[in-house]
Chain A
Amino acid sequence: IAGITQAPTSQILAAGRRMTLRCTQDMRHNAMYWYRQDLGLGLRLIHYSNTAGTTGKGEVPDGYSVSRANTDDFPLTLASAVPSQTSVYFCASTQGNTGELFFGEGSRLTVL
């Protein structure tokens, strides 16, 4: 693993199903983020974690949950997917409180 890895890269999901997007980084960054990106809206923060063991809500947290059991992993869970959660999801990390983020390649999720 080099950098930050997301899985799956693409998924089609039936509404009402539970889904976990995985994110792993090997840079020992303390802060990690989950964003969604929709056409014309830019990146919107879902949840973040400043350090292992802590998480916080971003701009659009409803319907999503996260955990940060260790430094490297930051999974995002949709408990019961809805069509409005169709989007491209990006995981990102950084060291300290900087704005220089390193992004994963993204997970394209379609909820039908």
Chain B
Amino acid sequence: GQNIDQPTEMTATEGAIVQINCTYQTSGFNGLFWYQQHAGEAPTFLSYNVLDGLEEKGRFSSFLSRSKGYSYLLLKELQMKDSASYLCAVLDSNYQLIWGAGTKLIIKP
């Protein structure tokens, strides 16, 4: 079966750095996506990786290792507004997104 694992909840301090991990086992691979979802709101696209390596976009970076079935989202200089759930998703061989359950990130002052 297809499976995506990510931690249920993480806590970090304002101004610090946090890394949210995601491991996946899917039927085929056509890219890995990270979405941000604030409580009570819709998910919004953050990043996309299809090749191994690090993609940097401002304070957020996303890393992919296809051989290990592993990705992480790195958030730097954490701000209170970064408190949200972060969803990892993989586009499988049928071009359907397989979603993880999400990681709730709590930022403390």
Give which listed residue, A90, A99, A103, A106, contacts B89 with CB less than 8 A.
A99
CB-defined contacts of A40 to chain B, threshold 8 Å? 8, 101
Shortest CB distance B47–A (Å):
10
Contact of A99 with B87 in the complex, beta carbons under 8 Å: no
In the complex, B44 has a CB within 8 A of chain A: yes
Contact of A41 with B101 in the complex, beta carbons under 8 Å: yes
Contact of A100 with B45 in the complex, beta carbons under 8 Å: yes
Contact of A103 with B43 in the complex, beta carbons under 8 Å: yes
Give which listed residue, A41, A90, A101, A102, contacts B97 with CB less than 8 A.
A101
User: Within B52-103, which residues are at the interface with A (CB < 8 Å)?
Assistant: 87, 89, 91, 95-97, 99-102
Shortest CB distance A100–B (Å):
5
Shortest CB distance B95–A (Å):
4
Contact of A99 with B41 in the complex, beta carbons under 8 Å: no
CB-defined contacts of B31 to chain A, threshold 8 Å? 98-99
Contact of B100 with A104 in the complex, beta carbons under 8 Å: no
- Interface footprint category on A: 10 to 19
Contact of B102 with A99 in the complex, beta carbons under 8 Å: no
In the complex, A84 has a CB within 8 A of chain B: no
Contact of A42 with B97 in the complex, beta carbons under 8 Å: no
CB-defined contacts of A106 to chain B, threshold 8 Å? 41-42
Contact with B along A33-46 (1 / 0, CB 8 A): 00000001111110
Give the CA-CA distance A48 to B42 in the complex, in Å.
Answer: 18
Binding site for A on B (CB under 8 A): 8, 30-31, 33, 41-45, 48, 87, 89, 91, 95-97, 99-102
26 A-B pairs with C-beta separation under 8 A: A40-B8, A40-B101, A41-B101, A42-B99, A42-B101, A43-B43, A43-B87, A43-B89, A43-B97, A43-B99, A44-B99, A45-B97, A48-B96, A90-B42, A97-B91, A99-B33, A99-B89, A99-B91, A99-B97, A100-B45, A101-B43, A101-B97, A103-B42, A104-B42, A105-B42, A106-B42
